[in-house]
Amino acid sequence: MKKYLLFYILCLSLYQVSFSRETVDSLRIDTTPVEKREFSPGFSEKYNGPEYQYETNPPSGWFTRFKEWLARLLSDLFRLDSAQKAADITDISLKIFYILLIMAVIFFIVRAIMNREGQWIFRKSSDRKIITARDIENNIHITDFNQLVSDAVSDKNYREAIRYYYLWLLKELSGKELIAYDTEKTNTDYLRELKNHTLQPEFGYASYLYNYIWYGKFDIDQAQYSNAARTFSDLINSLAR
């Protein structure tokens, strides 16, 4: 056992000595003289061809060219002393333009919606506007009943024309402050408001015609319509005087 231990210690000592020599050899400075080399004259001319150009400028789009043109225009106009200032002013100008453009689009959209909501007439063309009964009743003061009546008669929808005449009459009575218009009121309510007024009997007869034709859902011909329409038109004309 002791022999093996001594042999192991001897091997370890030899390895350490060998490792130390290799370490010292690796740390020695190489003092071999270095040969000085120089580039041959005009060597760079050999590498000026297009195959040696590694930097390429990507083609610019129309918007980039427009911005560059605008920057040059602003630079000349305001006599700017640097391209960066011209680029900054160009960016600000474009942002202002975008904001104004968006505001203009919103304005025209809102105006178009308001015009569409405020117009209560039928058109004879294929894009005829559909107006519900509740819409007209809630907006009698801005409704062109003359046009509505004319369109309904052209379509031979005489019941609808009588309805428009009646609402037209309510519009005129409300405009003269003879009644207080309300969509929830009945003909009886309006007759009560016209108590002791000379128009009460005529309005009562017009209301009777309206109830009979509209709510009775009786189809009337042109002659019957003309007789009923004359009652409404005479009342409306008397209020217009």
Please give the average per-residue pLDDT across 202-222, as a whole number.
89
Ramachandran region of residue 109, left (φ > 0), alpha (ψ -120 to 50) or beta?
A: alpha
Closest by CA position to 235, among listed 170, 148, 142: 170
Q: Which of 62-71, 206-215, 229-238 has the lowest mean pLDDT?
A: 62-71
Same domain, 216 and 160: yes
Domain with 143, as residue range(s), is: 133-240
Query: Would 236 be classed as within a structural domain?
Result: yes
Query: Would 47 be classed as within a structural domain?
Result: no
Q: What is the mean pLDDT of the chain?
A: 77
Same domain, 110 and 165: no
In whole angstroms, what is the distance from residue 136 CA to residue 167 CA?
9
| Alpha carbon separation from 40 to 43, 45, 48, 138 (Å, rounded) | 6, 11, 16, 97
Between vectors from CA 130 to CA 224 and to CA 229, what angle results, nearest 5°? 20
How much is the pLDDT for 81?
75
Query: Would 57 be classed as within a structural domain?
Result: no
* Contact indicator for 185, 174 with CB cutoff of 8 Å: no
* Banded model confidence at residue 68, pLDDT cuts 50, 70, 90: confident
Same domain, 191 and 220: yes
Query: Would 29 be classed as within a structural domain?
Result: no
Please give the average per-residue pLDDT across 36-60, as a whole number.
61
* Contact indicator for 165, 225 with CB cutoff of 8 Å: no
Count of structural domains within the chain: 2
**What single-letter amino acid sits at 169?**
L
pTM attached to this predicted model: 0.47
Same domain, 198 and 149: yes
Same domain, 229 and 137: yes
Same domain, 194 and 137: yes
Query: Would 33 be classed as within a structural domain?
Result: no
Query: Would 234 be classed as within a structural domain?
Result: yes
How much is the pLDDT for 138?
86
Same domain, 192 and 161: yes
